[in-house]
Amino acid sequence: MKFDVLTIFPEMVSASLREGILGRAVKRGIVEVRLVNIRSFARGAHRTTDDRPYGGGDGMVMRPGPISLALKSIDRVKGRSPVILLSPQGERFDQKIAWELSNRDQIILICGRYEGVDERIRLTCIERELSIGDYVLTGGELAALVVMDAVSRLIQGVLGGERSNLEDSFEDGLLEYPQYTRPKVFQGQEVPPVLLSGDHEKIRLWRRTESLRRTLERRPDLLPQARLTPEDRSILARLKRKFRNTIDVEV
């Protein structure tokens, strides 16, 4: 997987590539991140990448020329490499999109700044816009890191366990079950006995029940689209009876 990140603050991104799972994936050569400084393609002594908006108003707008030249400088791999703008106006980034992008060989991410990019860049260069939530950041660098982290961990070899990313929250439309490790007792709270039983079927059933319980309590909006088995629906019906006075959700 190759990520090309267009930004005027490459240091913001490079600092995060030295640590964690994404950093290790880069060091091992599983993931390649190439930082393209948009300012290097700006003209003039000050390498200005923004200007005042036509029509007036507060803030500045990123000029189209430097972004266009930066895009042209990127070596494209065979096949189509999506050009993605990180923007609060984009579609909401989620696990489904992360899986979709993980099948690409190359992803090009443009980090917007200020009031955004010139509309002509959107119309001629951008194939997709992504937002990581309904709030506004000062720039797209943090959003680009979120996308790279979420996508990279789905690539074979990045995580240690083969099934680690398949048991995460949202993979089947549900939140993940609670996790425990040593010590067995912490501040008076014990690990659930079933997890110490060695009975794999009981553990599986407990984990599935807790996953459904946690989703019902915290994110019932996920349940109508979740991939549920007949066993899941039976468990949910039982759980719903306990919450019938506070939660109303179809199961």
Q: Active-site residues: which are they?
A: 88, 115, 153, 168
Q: Where does residue 60 rank: exposed (0-12), middle (13-18), buried (19+ CB within 10 A)?
A: middle
Q: What's the rounded Cα separation, in Å, for the pair 126 and 123?
A: 7
- 3-state class (DSSP) for residue 41: helix
Strand partners of residue 6: 36, 110
Under 8 Å between Cβ of 50 and 113: yes
Please name the residues in contact with 207: beta carbons below 8 A apart, sequence gap of 6 or more: 177
Under 8 Å between Cβ of 22 and 3: no
CA distances from 96 to 62, 93, 103, 225 (A): 30, 8, 12, 12
Under 8 Å between Cβ of 22 and 150: no
- 3-state class (DSSP) for residue 241: helix
How many alpha carbons lie under 13 Å from residue 158 in its C-beta half-sphere?
A: 21
Element (H, E) at 90: strand 83-92
Pairing assessment for the beta strands 106-111 and 2-7 based on DSSP bridges: parallel
Strand partners of residue 83: 108
Under 8 Å between Cβ of 90 and 64: no
